Structure 1
Amino acid sequence: MAFPINDATPVTWPGPVPKTADVVVIGGGVIGVCTALYLAEVGQRVVLLEKGRIAGEQSSRNWGWIRQQGRDPDELPIMVEANALWRDLAGRTNVDIGLTQGGVTYLAGSEDEMAKYAKWLRHAEAHDVDSRLLSTAEVADLVPGMSKTYVGALYTASDMRAEPWVAVPALAGVAARAGALIVENCAVRALDIQGGKVAGVVTEQGRIVTPEVVLAGGAWSALFLRRHGIALPQLSVRATVAATDPLPMIYPGGAADDRIAFRPRKDGGYSLAAGGFHELFVGPDAFRALPKYLTQLRKDPFGTRFLPAAPRGFPDAWGTRRTWDADGPSPFEAMRILNPAPNRTKVKKLTQGFAALFPDLGPVRIKTAWAGMIDTMPDVVPVVDRVAALPGLTVGTGMSGHGFGIGPGMGKVLAALVMGENPGHDLTRFRLSRFSDGTKMRIGPSV
Structure 2
Amino acid sequence: MVIIGGGIVGLTAALTLSERGVQVVVLEKGSVAGEQSSRNQGWIRKTSRAPADVPLAAASDRLWAGLAERVGSDVGYRQAGILFLAKSEAEMHVHEKWLQSVEQCDLDSRLLTLRDIDHLVPGGRGDWAGGIYTPSDGRAEPSLAAYAIARAARAKGAIILENCAVRSLVLSGSRVTGAVTEHGEIRSDAVLLAGGLWSRRFLGNLGVDLPTLPLTVSVARTAPMEGPTEIAVGGPDFSFRKHADGGFIVTQRSAVKAPITLDHLLIGQRYISSLKTQGRYLRVSIGREFFQDLALPRRWKPDARSPFERVRTKDPAIDQRAIGEAFAALSAAWPVFEQAEIVQTWAGTVDVTPDSTPVIDHVSSIPGLTVCTGFSGHGFGTSPTAGELAADLITGADPIIDPSPYRFGRFAAS
TM above 0.5, yes or no, is: yes
Which residue is 1:220 aligned to? 198
After TM superposition, list the pairs within 5 Å mapping 1:41-52 onto structure 2: 41-52=19-30
- Aligned positions, number: 414
4+ runs deviating over 4 angstroms:
none
CA distance in 2, matches of 1:149, 1:93: 44
Residue 220 (structure 2) pairs with residue 271 (structure 1): no
- Tell me which residue corresponds to 1:3: none
Report the counterpart of residue 95 of structure 1 in structure 2: 73
Q: Does 1:246 align with 2:224?
A: yes
What is residue 329 of structure 1 aligned with on the other side?
305
Cα 1:223–1:105 change in 2 (3 A) is same
Q: CA deviation at 1:409?
A: 0.5
1:98–1:163: 8 Å Cα contact kept in structure 2? yes
2:272: which partner in 1? 294
Residue 132 of structure 1 aligns to which amino acid in structure 2?
R
Aligned equivalents of 2:140 and 2:82: distance in 1?
Answer: 13
Give the equivalent residue in structure 2 for 1:283: 261
Provide TM-score, normalisation by structure 2. Answer: 0.96
> What are the superposed Cα offsets for residues 369-399 of structure 1, whole Å, 9 maximum, x if unpaired?
1100011001111111100011000011110
In 1: Cα distance, 2:98 partner to 2:3 partner: 35
| Identical pairs, percent | 40
Residue 391 of structure 1 aligns to which amino acid in structure 2?
P
Aligned residue for 1:325, secondary structure, equals coil
SS in 1 for 2:91: helix
Go from structure 1 to structure 2 and tell me whether the alpha carbon gap of 1:102 and 1:24 turns closer, same or farther (over 3 Å shift).
same
Alignment partners' CA distance in 1, 2:336 and 2:241: 17
C-alpha distance in 1 between matches for 2:54 and 2:274: 21
Equivalent residue of 2:64, what SS? Answer: helix
Q: Secondary structure at the match of 1:246?
A: coil
Is 1:401 equivalent to 2:377 in the alignment? Answer: yes
Other-structure match for 2:326 = 350
Q: Which moved more, 1:140-149 or 1:353-362?
A: 353-362
Residue 124 (structure 2) pairs with residue 146 (structure 1) = yes
Please name the residue that 1:417 is paired with.
393
Whose helix proportion is higher, 1 or 2?
2
Structure 1 portions without partners, runs of 5+ = 1-22, 439-447
In structure 2, the partner of 1:176 is: 154
Report the residue type matching 1:95 in the other structure: S
1:74 is aligned, of 38, 49, 52, to 52
Alignment deviations for residues 118-176 of structure 1 (CA, whole Å, 9 cap, x no partner): 22223544222211111111110000111212121111111111111211111111211
TM-score of the pair, normalised by structure 1:
0.89
Distance 2:351 2:216 in 1: 9
Q: Are 1:118 and 2:105 counterparts?
A: no
State the partner residue of 1:192.
170
Question: What does 1:26-37 correspond to in 2, within 5 Å?
Answer: 26-37=4-15
Question: 2:168 is paired with a residue of what secondary structure?
Answer: strand
Provide closer, same or farther for how the CA distance between residues 235 and 124 of structure 1 changes in structure 2, counting only shifts above 3 A.
same
1:231 and 1:309 mapped to 2: Cα distance? 25
Task: Give unpaired runs (5+ residues) of structure 2.
Answer: none
Cα separation, partners in 2 of 1:158 and 1:301, compared to 1, 3 Å: closer
Q: In 2, are the aligned partners of 1:309 and 1:318 still within 8 Å (CA)?
A: no
Q: How far is 1:267 from its partner?
A: 1.1
- 1:61 and 2:43 matched: no
Which residue does 1:230 correspond to in 2? 208
Aligned to 1:14: none
RMSD of Structure 2 on Structure 1 (CA): 1.6
Note if contact 2:67-2:75 (Cα within 8 Å) is conserved in structure 1.
no
